[in-house]
Structure 1
Amino acid sequence: MDEIFVGRQPIYNRKLEVVGYELLYRSSLHNQAQFLDGDQATGEVILNAFLELGLENISGRYPAFINLSRSFLVGDKPLPFSHKRVVLEVLEDIEPDAAVIEALRRLARNGYIIALDDFVYRPELEPLAELAHIIKVDVLGVDPDALTERVAQLKRHKVRLLAEKVESHDEFERCKQLGFDYFQGYFFCKPNIVRGRSRPVNRLVLMNLLAELQRPETDINKLEKLVAQDAALTYRLLRYVNSPCVAIRRKVESLRRALVIIGANTIKNWITLILFTRIDDKPRELVVTALVRARMCELLGAAYRHEGLDRFFTVGLLSAMDALMDQPMEEVLNELPLVEEVKAALRTRDGHLGHVLEQVLLYEWGAWDKLCQSLDSLTYRQAYLDAVRWAGDSLATVMGSGGPSLDTARTA
């Protein structure tokens, strides 16, 4: 079977809620393009996302931002999908000639959302700005005064503004103050380390609960006493037990019965997951990242025929704790009574746990040429897709199916 790849990067609103994903072309395990043909790259992304992998597995219920070459825009090559759940990105190197302008008018009339990528205003680009719903601005390294002027110029148009390549908290706050509507960049998946700040009470409670959950001697009795202290946590857990995912014939109304039915190890993982959702000032995508890592670690651990798969799940889940807690990983580990095997995996990628976590992170980063070859590429790909699907289903169960939407109405 030929290998296929699609990268994705989340897009956030001002509340740090995910509202879409940009789909990115990737060529091989070596993470290098094998050709410079933009048409072929666009075609590969479309085919892989829609026909091979399934858009529902890549972006879930959120719209997918897809870069289009000129040929796909003007109709020389077919655009085989409807306007539903997609945003068409016009690349910055496409000249706005009459054919392109007319094509964008037609696409907009047919309901497609138009976004302009890496847009820098020039008078000849005025027709594009008039047709666009979203304008993406590369903010990396842009002088603050120049960015302020650029935003003021773009705000004369009825568009939503998206800040690309946001790489620090200061940049995010500055872009918010300037009036950007959406944000995209590496900052949202990196820890924002702040020293000397008192932590909110809910985080203190979270750390205490998480520490107890990681103790080897914790049993169902201890778990029941812990969970019972939080009514919202109890509600979410019971809602999950009574969902189609578990398929229990009779309604489960007792927390103890729920714990007995599902089993202690699974309950530990689920409670840890639900506790993560209690961190309410972080992007939801951080929780998604943690869940995808946890499930993929578990799946790859099974592929390697390792025992104790719950520990693989835990290592993957905790690998995002530094970002979630705004602390270096070492400080997080010092506060958790974890077994040394788990700590070594998170610190230095030692042991079986560390090796599997390293493979998951390499796959997440797109460094496919560095993956261990003892597992074939199809195993990695299937584990990742299964993990993405599982993470989406899990959050839908514990947090509800509702979510933020991408507001593409042209502003007044």
Structure 2
Amino acid sequence: MSEIFIGRQPIYDRNLAVYAYELLFRSAEANAAEITDGDMATSDVIVNTFLEIGLDNIVSDRPAFINLTRPFFVNEHTISLPKDRVVLELLEDIEADAEVIEGVKRLSEQGYRIALDDFIYHESLKPLVALADIVKIDLMRLDRDEVRNHVQQLREHPVRLLAEKVETHDDFLYCKELGFDYFQGYFFAQPKVIRGQRLPNNRLAILKLLSRLQDPGISSNELENLIAQDVAFSYRILRYVNSAAFSLTRKIESIHQAVVFIGIQSIRSWTTLLAMSQVDNKPAELVVTAMVRGKMAEVLARKLNIDNPESFFTVGLFSALDALMDNTMEEILTQLPLADHISNALLHRQGIHGEVLECVLTYERGQWEKMPTMKLAKHQIRECYLAALQWAGDVCQQLID
């Protein structure tokens, strides 16, 4: 895996509360941009933010300001970002020609907030000001009289004003007196470099598949289409459903029939298991370990008469994802739309799901003195483990081989 980096600098409101963060290209942990290709830098920031590290991990619930180059504004097919989470910055070196103005107008009408970066007033920029939500004024490029004149001219438009490159307390007080809405600069905080790990392509694709499979809103048709995209998945699932394990009276010939006969949740579980088994450069025994954990957690939940025991299978199965993906569980869960109680069980062993998972893991490690028994006798827990071993062995022969 390779390391990835994002620069993040806070933007404050008039009460010095963090309003947003500007995301900045960084190619290394050194706090400097080193940009040689603006389009590449923009793409890198977007990919690392949304597909690798995760937006919430970088900005929490705050808006993210993202610098975009000309192609991202004029090409109708390049922007697909959450409108309520981002502010699109038009860089100061982009010429305000008709194509750019039309692109900004289109994005504004789609619901995106637009910011004009390092703004210096010129008559040709009036159409952009009319479309903008925020105008950023660089204090290093203008003297104080020029800053005041800019504020007076821009107050004719319903835009918010952001003072950037605020270097001193005096700068802040001056801009606040002029009526600026937001403030950014070294006086408050230097950019912080956020580090992450880029998953290998095979593992990233599988994580995206797992994410779709775990979406609680997925329909049976969507699930069927998802499985149908992989012939090997379809073949293995049909082979397993038609095995003696289900003792069906008729042969199942399609994924649609399989969903009808054994249910969407079961099909989703098997497809999830298959996806995990496809991770490259990982021993098959690791997937077997995940299977045993999942089944043991489910059987324990059934013995304890807990509702929805299938969800315990998911917790046990996913407890091995960090080892499979060579990444931290925290990073992985940013890519998976799991319910809070499942995420909390995986991360913090919280709730009944976390308690059951802790029982499974301590039994697996032979840490008998630490094992929570949850009012079960130790021989009952052993029976659950042995049942899970038997099940995992049977499934491996029919589903994964």
TM, length-normalised to structure 1:
0.48
In our comparison, the structure showing a higher alpha carbon Rg is 2
TM, length-normalised to structure 2:
0.50
